[in-house]
Chain A
């Protein structure tokens, strides 16, 4: 009896609900639209997932190809090293007198410089000892720049007055800023400069011929985040080089960046990055007022830079917590530290061994940034990013006025601060 009643109940529902195709359930176009989105998502997803590694690979290949192209454009360093300074040094070439008097290995010129330095010995009683021109077992001389304030130096005029006949002013000036050392004899400090004009002439020799030639910076990475507002802490490993990839040296940087969504898929990023940028270069790409007697075969630079980027990123893909964007922008550069070490083919060569640049050069919007960013959203607040990037010089930067290019990969942690901005 009980079973019959249960069966009756079941049948009641089965009759009505079992075949309800006759009932009007009311087709809704919205349901189809939602379904169509689902279908499109299914179609696109494998494609995008398939393309993500390809896009990343393409970005890496582009970076590599760009690097190779730049490498090909570079003149081999050893060829340049064999040429006289006059052919390589823009300052020297700018002055015919100087050019004619400064073959790289011209001992006579060296002597005259020495004599000149001694002649200008009124600079605080500093003595410029003669430098050994020979000595097979002697290490190359070390020259360091001492940007101390030397009141004994009267400035350009005094210097010029004291030079020996036939000694170019630039040589005198350059010498006056270098200290010569050897293993055996720690030589002199000639120098000093407080006078802005003198500093300008010597530290920025190009200004003599082209005052408008502002050096501009290289850079660091700009990191991008896509939410409306985001903070990103980034760290990167990168390679820096001047003209030739063969001379690339690795550097690092860390930074804090702020991103703001501008339009639907566009965001702007700015911030500050502290970057160490060591690089190698040859004399062909190294510009200085100082004329080497013998060109260094290699110059090692160690720069510390504060990079302030402004980048725009366009979001190509944003689904399932994965975001992919490409971007470009400009970086401004504040040089916090610059030092250079000179190395010679012949270790017995007498010549300056190093130079430290005082002060901070500022180079605004001197670097073009290119980057591709992949972001994996961990949760609504935080995401992890990987960003291969490339920084191409738009102008020369630094004391040495080099065209420094950088390529690297940055990783970062993004913090979406949207919620904090809500009223």
Chain B
């Protein structure tokens, strides 16, 4: 979508033209969904947040400054809506199993053959409190102080949650690595047992009838 097309769509959206709204929604669905997916636990939840985000976008699209990149504006809204969603589920977020992180040894992550879906699944498996902090810090680049302000938590809590998130992710990566190796045959877990039939006495089969 060219910049000109985008501006035309935005103008149409300002006029609440439904066709333009749909084209814009469709055009930035993937980009927005990617953000929502990593802040939420599953696709359904992500779709809900995404729609809330687009709702805000269309509601405030007349405030959009055309001199700024639309994607940045849209992404920021999606992130904010995700944080709102986190806040709305705050009680639930802290009743999740926030177990103490066990020490996981560091490995070399650069050589891990993990694709987008693998990593997304791992992030989604994190408790919401950990996931949100990890997203904000590791992916969106906010500091702990900023995160603390955004989520209305202490900076210490933010650090703690990040630490625990990382530990969990490391564990998941380690588990995934082990699993992958097992499929690649690096470790032989064959349960096949060779039996030497010569040692078996015939009576075992005949139950002593011949005797």
Is the beta-carbon distance between A27 and B26 smaller than 8 angstroms? yes
Is the beta-carbon distance between A14 and B139 smaller than 8 angstroms? yes
A34 interface hit (Cβ, 8 Å): yes
Residue in B35, B58, B173 whose CB lies within 8 Å of A39 = B58
Q: In the complex, which residues 25-80 of chain A have their Cβ closer than 8 Å to any Cβ of chain B? A: 25, 27-28, 31-32, 34-36, 38-39, 42-43
Given contacts A5-B106, A12-B114, A42-B59, contact A21 B31 (CB under 8 A): yes
Query: What's the Cα separation between A35 and B58 when bound, in Å?
Result: 11
Contacts of A2 in B (CB 8 A): 106
Contacts of A12 in B (CB 8 A): 109-110, 112, 114, 119
A8 interface hit (Cβ, 8 Å): yes
A165 interface hit (Cβ, 8 Å): no
Query: What's the Cα separation between A269 and B5 when bound, in Å?
Result: 56
Given contacts A13-B119, A39-B55, contact A18 B139 (CB under 8 A): yes
Contacts of B115 in A (CB 8 A): 16
Interface class of chain B by DSSP? helix
Q: How far is the CB of A4 from chain B (nearest CB, A)?
A: 9
Is the beta-carbon distance between A20 and B59 smaller than 8 angstroms? no
B37 interface hit (Cβ, 8 Å): yes
Complex: chain B residue closest to A15, CB-CB: B119
Contacts of A31 in B (CB 8 A): 29, 47, 50-51
Contacts of B166 in A (CB 8 A): 6, 9-10
A320 interface hit (Cβ, 8 Å): no
Interface class of chain A by DSSP? helix
Contacts of A39 in B (CB 8 A): 18, 21, 55, 58
Q: How far is the CB of B35 from chain A (nearest CB, A)?
A: 8
Is the beta-carbon distance between A17 and B123 smaller than 8 angstroms? yes
Q: How far is the CB of B104 from chain A (nearest CB, A)?
A: 10
Residue in A8, A23, A35 whose CB lies within 8 Å of B51 = A35
Query: What's the Cα separation between A20 and B139 when bound, in Å?
Result: 11
Q: How far is the CB of A185 from chain B (nearest CB, A)?
A: 84
Query: What's the Cα separation between A2 and B106 when bound, in Å?
Result: 8
Is the beta-carbon distance between B33 and A35 smaller than 8 angstroms? no
Is the beta-carbon distance between A35 and B54 smaller than 8 angstroms? yes
Contacts of A21 in B (CB 8 A): 30-31, 34, 71
Given contacts A13-B138, A27-B29, A38-B55, contact A20 B109 (CB under 8 A): no
B120 interface hit (Cβ, 8 Å): yes
Binary per-residue interface labels of chain B (2-39) against chain A in the complex, 1 for a CB within 8 Å, 0 otherwise: 00000000000000101001100110011101110110
Residue in A13, A27, A32, A35 whose CB lies within 8 Å of B30 = A27
Residue in A10, A17, A34 whose CB lies within 8 Å of B47 = A34
A24 interface hit (Cβ, 8 Å): yes
Is the beta-carbon distance between B119 and A16 smaller than 8 angstroms? yes
Is the beta-carbon distance between A17 and B55 smaller than 8 angstroms? no
Is the beta-carbon distance between A23 and B123 smaller than 8 angstroms? no
Given contacts A9-B169, A23-B34, contact A32 B25 (CB under 8 A): yes
Query: What's the Cα separation between A38 and B37 when bound, in Å?
Result: 20
Contacts of A34 in B (CB 8 A): 47, 51
Contacts of A20 in B (CB 8 A): 30-31, 34-35, 37-38, 116, 120
Residue in B51, B58, B109 whose CB lies within 8 Å of A9 = B109
Query: What's the Cα separation between A18 and B114 when bound, in Å?
Result: 15
Q: In the complex, which residues 237-275 of chain A have their Cβ closer than 8 Å to any Cβ of chain B? A: none
Is the beta-carbon distance between B30 and A17 smaller than 8 angstroms? no
Given contacts A31-B51, A35-B25, A35-B51, contact A17 B119 (CB under 8 A): yes
Q: How far is the CB of B175 from chain A (nearest CB, A)?
A: 15
B70 interface hit (Cβ, 8 Å): no
Query: What's the Cα separation between A287 and B37 when bound, in Å?
Result: 79
Query: What's the Cα separation between A12 and B26 when bound, in Å?
Result: 28
Contacts of A9 in B (CB 8 A): 109, 138, 166, 169-170, 173
B73 interface hit (Cβ, 8 Å): no
Binary per-residue interface labels of chain B (94-125) against chain A in the complex, 1 for a CB within 8 Å, 0 otherwise: 00000000000010111010111001100100
Q: How far is the CB of A33 from chain B (nearest CB, A)?
A: 10
Contacts of B47 in A (CB 8 A): 28, 31, 34
Is the beta-carbon distance between B116 and A42 smaller than 8 angstroms? no
Contacts of B22 in A (CB 8 A): 32, 36
Q: How far is the CB of A17 from chain B (nearest CB, A)?
A: 5
Complex: chain B residue closest to A31, CB-CB: B47
B142 interface hit (Cβ, 8 Å): no
Contacts of B106 in A (CB 8 A): 2, 5
What are 21 A-B residue pairs whose CB atoms fall within 8 Å in the complex?
Answer: A5-B106, A8-B109, A8-B110, A9-B138, A10-B137, A10-B138, A12-B110, A13-B169, A14-B139, A17-B116, A19-B34, A20-B37, A23-B30, A25-B37, A27-B29, A35-B55, A36-B18, A36-B22, A38-B51, A38-B55, A42-B59
Q: Which 3 A-B pairs have the closest CB atoms?
A: A20-B34, A10-B138, A5-B106
A-B contacts besides A23-B116, A35-B54, 13 pairs, CB < 8 Å: A5-B109, A9-B109, A10-B166, A12-B119, A13-B119, A16-B114, A16-B115, A16-B116, A16-B119, A16-B120, A17-B119, A25-B37, A35-B51
